[in-house]
Structure 1
Amino acid sequence: MDRDQTTPPEKIADLQAIRATYTGSASNAQRVRLLAALGRYAINTFEAMRYLDVYHCPARVLQLRKLGHRIETHWQTITTEAGAAHRVGMYVLQSGETS
């Protein structure tokens, strides 16, 4: 899945609310935030960094998978604010799972 994506304002607000609810910088806190967000949305690496304060999203996804969560990775190209294109992961929690 390659395309540019702009995060809608309502998704940003929801992700920021998740970040405010589940505070902390430890990997466990980051996993909790990411899983809560994945229960509602597909999340790409940049969104996890920008709005959830998850700074190594692939590592947190791997840890969640090891805990038994079924998370798919799709690839997409994101254009940064600087205009550079980056290929990033878009993570999707499999249907039937909840956070």
Structure 2
Amino acid sequence: MANSGSAQCQRLLERLARGSANSFQIMAELSICRPSARIRDLRASGHEIRTHRQPARDAQGVEHRGVAHYFLRTKGGADSSQ
């Protein structure tokens, strides 16, 4: 798996097209250490991605408040979600 910034952006964009994902999911599923940096890159290239802060559990089961959940806006203006 390529891990350049552009490769990470492509994986993340494909993942968000299937539905929303939080920072923990992105790190675990896509091997992206800094999801917010890739989200910034995608936004800079014109993709409309919304962020909601919600509680989420990490891989050890510890709950964290304010974890970023990302939603890719579709062409019709709706959020992609799972």
Q: Give the structure with the larger helix fraction.
A: 1
User: 2 CA distance for matches of 1:90 and 1:39?
Assistant: 14
Question: Is residue 2:48 matched to residue 1:70?
Answer: yes
User: 2 CA distance for matches of 1:81 and 1:35?
Assistant: 23
- The alignment covers a number of residue pairs equal to 75
Q: Give the structure with the larger strand fraction.
A: 2
User: 2 CA distance for matches of 1:79 and 1:40?
Assistant: 21
More moved, 27-36 vs 77-86: 77-86
- Paired position in structure 2 for 1:58: 36
- Paired position in structure 2 for 1:25: 3
User: 2 CA distance for matches of 1:94 and 1:37?
Assistant: 13
Q: Cα RMSD between the aligned structures?
A: 1.4
TM-score for the superposition, normalised by structure 2: 0.83
- Paired position in structure 1 for 2:71: 92
Distance 1:67 1:76, change over 3 A: same
Unaligned runs of 5+ in 1: 1-22
TM-score for the superposition, normalised by structure 1: 0.70
3-state SS of 1:91 partner: strand
Distance 1:77 1:32, change over 3 A: same
- Paired position in structure 1 for 2:79: none
User: 1 CA distance for matches of 2:7 and 2:40?
Assistant: 15
User: Deviation per CA, 1:37-70, whole angstroms, max 9, x where unpaired?
Assistant: 1111101101100011111100000010000000
Which stretches of structure 1, 4 residues or longer, exceed 4 Å deviation after superposition?
none
Question: How far has the Cα of 1:84 moved from its partner?
Answer: 2.1
Identity of aligned residues (%): 35
